[in-house]
């Protein structure tokens, strides 16, 4: 390969790096401004040019957020409870269904999977009314169970796990079957430990989705002490009006768990996306 070609590649790679770095900075700056604004007074928030480091650090914003008439901790506990059961349920059901569709043989397997996958084209909003009627007849409206139960099943999670299980060699399962292993042992002891990247990917996707879920809690929850963070944040914003530093402090508090989860699981998330074909 000639030196000229290598030079062109280096220049192209450097240009792409600069472009993506600029995009990354553009995406991070609003969060940095929000974080900075959450420690400012209302009078200092909109000063120009922007002061990225607050002139006076105001920690009272976070005190007001966490110790108001309905403390933010109530919304946090509700969101953690609901999201935990939804994430665990999604991982269990998706892993079992994905293994069945990928490795087991049964009649009409491909047709059933295609029908199941086609439900993804149904708009989420179409289900609001029938879901509300169903849960109302079951006396589950204004309970966390009405939010948790539908969230424990995900078509995308089943598809993701199926794609990952299909990458496992069939010879591995055949050998274990010869040794006397049943389907449950093949799934639990042999296949599942190899799907860690896919499980982490599913964890991040479902955690992000359910932590930020707004519409279902808005429709199904009425009592304020049952609100999740998105509904509580909306209610909090209505109460505080134009006190933007206070709203920013609440928003930063709401983003904390998402940042921690993504930061811890990023390596497995990238590997899982690469191995399951979920590329944009």
pLDDT of residue 5: 64
Query: CA distances (Å), 101 to each of 91, 97, 109, 234, in order?
Result: 15, 6, 7, 41
Phi/psi of residue 139, nearest 5 degrees: 60, 40
Q: Quick one: tokens of 189?
A: 């002891």
d(CA 195, CA 98): 11
Instruction: Give 241's Cβ-side CA count (13 Å radius).
Output: 2
pLDDT of residue 177: 80
Long-range contacts at 100-107 (CB < 8 A, ≥ 24 apart): 101/158, 101/162, 102/161, 102/162, 102/163, 102/165, 102/166, 102/168, 103/165, 103/168, 103/170, 103/173, 103/186, 103/191, 104/183
Instruction: In whole angstroms, give the CA distance from residue 9 to residue 2.
Output: 11
Rounded Cα–Cα distance for residues 66 and 175 (Å)? 56
Q: What is the pTM of this model?
A: 0.81
Q: Which residues contact 165 (CB under 8 A, 6 or more apart)?
A: 98, 99, 102, 103, 191, 195
pLDDT number for residue 256: 82
Here the tokens at position 111 are 């047709």
Per-residue pLDDT of the chain (280 residues), as tens digits, is 566 667 777 778 888 889 988 888 888 888 888 888 888 887 777 777 777 888 878 888 888 888 766 677 888 899 999 999 999 999 999 999 999 999 888 889 889 999 999 988 888 888 888 999 999 999 999 999 999 999 899 898 999 899 889 888 888 888 888 777 788 888 888 888 888 888 888 888 899 889 988 888 989 998 888 899 888 888 877 777 777 888 888 888 888 888 888 778 776 666 655 555 444 4
Q: Could you tell me which residues come within 8 angstroms of residue 216 by beta carbon, excluding any fewer than 6 positions away?
A: 128, 131, 146, 147, 150
Instruction: Calculate the alpha carbon distances from 222 to 213, 225, 265 in Å.
Output: 15, 9, 34
Question: What confidence score (pLDDT) does residue 279 get?
Answer: 45
Per the CB < 8 A criterion, the answer to whether 95 and 159 are in contact is no
Q: How far apart are the first and last CA of the chain?
A: 32
């Amino acid at each position: 390969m000639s030196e000229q070609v290598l030079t062109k590649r280096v220049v192209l790679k450097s240009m792409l790096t600069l472009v993506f770095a600029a995009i990354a900075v553009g995406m991070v700056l609003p969060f940095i401004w929000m974080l900075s604004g959450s420690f400012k007074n209302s009078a200092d928030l909109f000063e120009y040019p922007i002061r990225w480091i607050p002139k006076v650090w105001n920690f009272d914003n976070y005190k007001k957020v966490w110790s108001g008439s309905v403390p933010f901790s109530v919304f946090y506990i509700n969101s953690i409870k609901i999201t935990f059961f939804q994430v665990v349920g999604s991982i269990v059901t998706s892993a079992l269904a994905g293994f069945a569709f990928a490795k087991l043989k049964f009649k009409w397997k491909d047709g059933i999977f295609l029908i199941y996958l086609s439900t993804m084209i149904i708009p989420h909003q179409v289900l609001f009314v029938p879901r509300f009627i169903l849960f109302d007849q079951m006396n589950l409206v204004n309970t966390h169970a009405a939010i948790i139960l539908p969230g424990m099943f995900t078509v995308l999670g089943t598809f993701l796990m199926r794609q990952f299980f299909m990458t496992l060699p069939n010879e591995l399962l055949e050998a274990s079957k010869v040794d006397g292993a049943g389907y449950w042992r093949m799934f639990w002891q042999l296949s599942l430990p190899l799907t860690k990247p896919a499980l982490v990917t599913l964890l991040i996707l479902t955690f992000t989705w359910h932590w930020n879920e707004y519409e279902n809690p808005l429709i199904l929850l009425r009592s304020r002490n049952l609100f999740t963070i998105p509904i509580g944040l909306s209610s909090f914003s209505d109460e505080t009006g134009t006190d933007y530093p206070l709203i920013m402090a609440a928003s930063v508090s709401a983003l904390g768990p998402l940042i921690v989860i993504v930061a811890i699981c990023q390596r497995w998330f990238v590997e899982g996306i690469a191995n399951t074909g979920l590329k944009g």
